[in-house]
Amino acid sequence: MALTIYHNPQCSKSRQALKSIDDSGGPPDIIRYPDSPPSVADLRTLLEKPRVRTY
Q: What is the pLDDT of residue 40?
A: 96
* Known catalytic membership, residue 44: no
**Rounded Cα distance, 54 and 38, in Å:** 23
Instruction: Report the C-alpha gap between 32 and 36 in whole angstroms.
Output: 6
Q: Report the pLDDT value the prediction gives residue 37, as an integer from 0 to 100.
A: 93
2: Cβ contacts below 8 Å, ≥ 6 apart: 28, 29
Average pLDDT for consecutive 10-residue bins of the chain (55 residues)? 87 95 88 94 88 61
Note the pLDDT of residue 26.
76
Domain assignments of the chain as residue spans, ordered by start: 4-48
State how far the Cα of 34 lies from the Cα of 52, in Å rounded to an integer. Answer: 24
Single out the catalytic residue among 4, 9, 11, 32: 11
